């Protein structure tokens, strides 16, 4: 409970103003300096924080340069902040696998992401094990997996591809926005059995996805400043915290609306079909559990947080990955050609049953064995992991494989983004997009241990939805690459956004046209 209690607001305000003035002074000094130190300089009162603030606009690349210079690990010190930052694969294996129980997410993590409540995103210990067991049971259900596959195919066949087919060749669109809409609708259909309809011709406002993005953006800021700062802003309802409060309200409103639509069901649906429908959606496995409902059988805060957690897990991973993958594909047309060569035998076989006026869709069982398509996907996730940074707390003093000592209560930040760019891990061409690195000489997919390729986490907390999300993404990519051509629009910079989720700061603008297949 002490974690959530705050000092008197006026004391916090004075501390905040002192910190702000110190940061401003150091920031001006850093901006006026012509040389950039190998590692951040430590200033009185504010430590290394000014260097981070000065490079916040390029945080992930800045962190990568520091880790490369420091040999994959360094200690960050700031005002009431002490982080051990690493991308050392031996450390990662130790933290995520070998000594997993000593490195939970911790109470401060749960406070930072309070929008997730006590759901499995934040949970540790017995609560996490119980919730994970339930998710694992769900993700092994043939009925649910079949339902999720239908949701993906339906949204692809009746939403994404028709939308793109209507596009004029001279019209550009933001593919990041497109994939956000697609994955949001698809995830809501899997969780609630309801299509929010964001991917339609009129392109309605993306209010709820924007609220989800605000949660991740503010979560990043909370990670980067002393906890007293963001807790003061939360208390005063100012700055990013005001935005977060509005976002959380919007997410709760969305869940209430979806729950109502789920309960009501389509008016034309008979009782038998309604019961079949409720058996396969994620919400139906929680709604009758007393742990997730109040004394009147209504959803409680725990259920709201759990369903919001599912929405984040489904939308952010897939939508972000697809955006960066198509960025890489557009930049490397030879990769697109290789994927099309791999798809060609399947397409020729399907051509006899597919009308020339319709776009071809590839089934999961057809794309699952495709090695090069898989390699192109994983290579993009290596360079642009959807979750670029992980945070852990030290339970008891320990010595990491790198030789660094970490103490109880200390925070560890693991940069997945940096790990994919370490020459010692991936070779001298580590910054190049080269799917071939994932293909062995015998043509089979190269196995890379999860502590080296952390996009799906590692150890006991590894992603339970990895297989189904990869299958879905391969089907989407196959259909889009086979049926369409893409051309990047110039005049803007594509770069990562400083957030907990690795979205693009300016979107991904491209022209899309129907491909002429000979």
Mean pLDDT, rounded, for 308-331: 94
| 463 annotated binding-site participant | yes
Give the burial string for 154-175 (b: 16+ CB within 10 Å, else e): ebbeebbbebbeebeeeeebbb
Q: What is the pLDDT of residue 279?
A: 52
- Dist CA 324 CA 311 (whole Å): 20
| pLDDT digits 0-9 by tens, 267-303 | 334 434 444 444 578 999 998 899 999 888 889 999 9
3-state secondary structure 441-457: CCCCECCCCCCCCCCCC
CATH 1.10.630.10 fits 55-514, yes or no: yes
Query: Radius of gyration of the chain from Cα atoms?
Result: 24
| pLDDT digits 0-9 by tens, 381-419 | 999 999 999 999 999 999 999 999 999 999 999 999 999
Mean pLDDT score across all residues of the chain: 88
- Dist CA 156 CA 186 (whole Å): 9
Mean pLDDT, rounded, for 489-494: 89
pTM above 0.75, yes or no: yes
Q: What is the pLDDT of residue 34?
A: 45
The CA distances from residue 453 to 379, 391, 422, in Å, are 10, 16, 12
| pLDDT digits 0-9 by tens, 157-201 | 999 999 998 877 668 899 999 999 999 999 999 999 999 999 988
The length of the chain is 518
Q: What is the pLDDT of residue 268?
A: 36
pLDDT band at 80; cut points 50, 70, 90: confident
- Dist CA 180 CA 178 (whole Å): 5
pLDDT band at 357; cut points 50, 70, 90: low
CB 369 within 8 A of CB 363: no
For tokens 């002429």, name the residue.
Answer: 516
Mean pLDDT, rounded, for 216-223: 94
Q: What is the pLDDT of residue 280?
A: 73
Give the burial string for 398-416 (b: 16+ CB within 10 Å, else e): bebeeebebeeebbbbbbb
Q: Which residue has the higher pLDDT, 21 or 281?
A: 281
For tokens 């989800």, name the residue.
Answer: 212
Domain boundaries, given as residue ranges, for the chain: 55-514
For tokens 């994955």, name the residue.
Answer: 183
Helices (H) and strands (E) in the chain, counts: 20, 9
């Amino acid at each position: 409970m002490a974690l959530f209690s705050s000092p008197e607001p006026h004391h916090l305000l004075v501390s905040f103003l002192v910190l702000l003035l110190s940061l401003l002074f150091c920031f001006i000094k850093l901006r006026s300096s012509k040389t950039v130190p190998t590692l951040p300089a430590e200033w009185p009162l504010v430590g290394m924080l000014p260097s981070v603030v000065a490079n916040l606009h390029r945080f992930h690349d800045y962190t990568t340069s520091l880790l490369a210079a420091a040999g994959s690990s360094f200690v960050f010190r700031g005002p009431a902040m002490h982080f051990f930052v690493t991308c050392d694969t031996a450390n990662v294996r130790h933290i995520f696998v070998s000594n997993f129980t000593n490195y939970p997410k911790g109470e401060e993590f749960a406070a930072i992401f309070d929008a997730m409540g006590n759901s499995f995103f934040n949970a540790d210990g017995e609560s996490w094990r119980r919730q994970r067991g339930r998710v694992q049971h769900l993700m092994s259900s043939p009925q649910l997996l079949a339902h999720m596959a239908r949701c993906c195919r339906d949204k692809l066949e009746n939403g994404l591809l028709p939308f793109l087919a209507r596009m004029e060749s001279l019209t550009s669109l933001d593919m990041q926005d497109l994939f956000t809409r697609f994955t949001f609708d698809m995830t809501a259909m899997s969780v609630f059995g309801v299509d929010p309809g964001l991917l339609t011709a009129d392109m309605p406002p993306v209010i709820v996805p924007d609220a989800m993005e605000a949660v991740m953006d503010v979560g990043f800021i909370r990670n980067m400043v002393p906890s007293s700062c963001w807790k003061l802003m939360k208390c005063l309802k100012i700055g990013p915290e005001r935005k977060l409060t509005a976002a959380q309200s919007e997410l709760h409103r969305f869940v209430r609306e979806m729950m109502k639509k789920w309960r009501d069901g389509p008016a034309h649906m008979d009782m038998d079909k309604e019961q079949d429908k409720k058996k396969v959606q994620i919400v139906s496995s929680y709604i009758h559990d007393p742990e997730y409902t109040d004394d009147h059988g209504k959803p409680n805060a725990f259920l709201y947080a759990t369903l919001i957690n599912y929405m984040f897990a489904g939308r952010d991973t897939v939508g972000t990955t697809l955006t960066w993958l198509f960025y890489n594909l557009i930049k490397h047309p030879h990769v697109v050609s290789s994927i099309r060569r791999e798809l060609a035998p399947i397409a020729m076989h399907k051509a006899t049953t597919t009308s020339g006026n319709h776009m071809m869709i590839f089934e999961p069982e057809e794309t699952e064995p495709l090695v090069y398509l898989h390699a192109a996907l994983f290579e993009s996730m290596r360079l642009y992991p959807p979750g670029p940074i992980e945070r852990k707390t030290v339970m008891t003093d320990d010595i990491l494989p790198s030789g660094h000592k970490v103490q109880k209560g200390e925070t560890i930040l693991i940069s997945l983004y940096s790990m994919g760019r370490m020459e010692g891990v991936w070779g001298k061409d580590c910054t190049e997009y080269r799917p071939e690195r994932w293909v062995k000489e015998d043509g089979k997919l190269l196995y890379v241990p999860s502590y080296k390729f952390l996009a799906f986490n590692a150890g006991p907390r590894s992603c339970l939805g990895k297989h189904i999300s990869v299958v879905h993404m391969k089907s989407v990519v196959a259909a889009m690459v086979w049926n369409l051509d893409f051309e990047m629009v110039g005049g803007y910079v594509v770069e990562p956004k400083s957030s907990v989720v690795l979205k693009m700061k300016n979107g991904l603008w491209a022209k899309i046209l129907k491909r002429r297949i000979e």
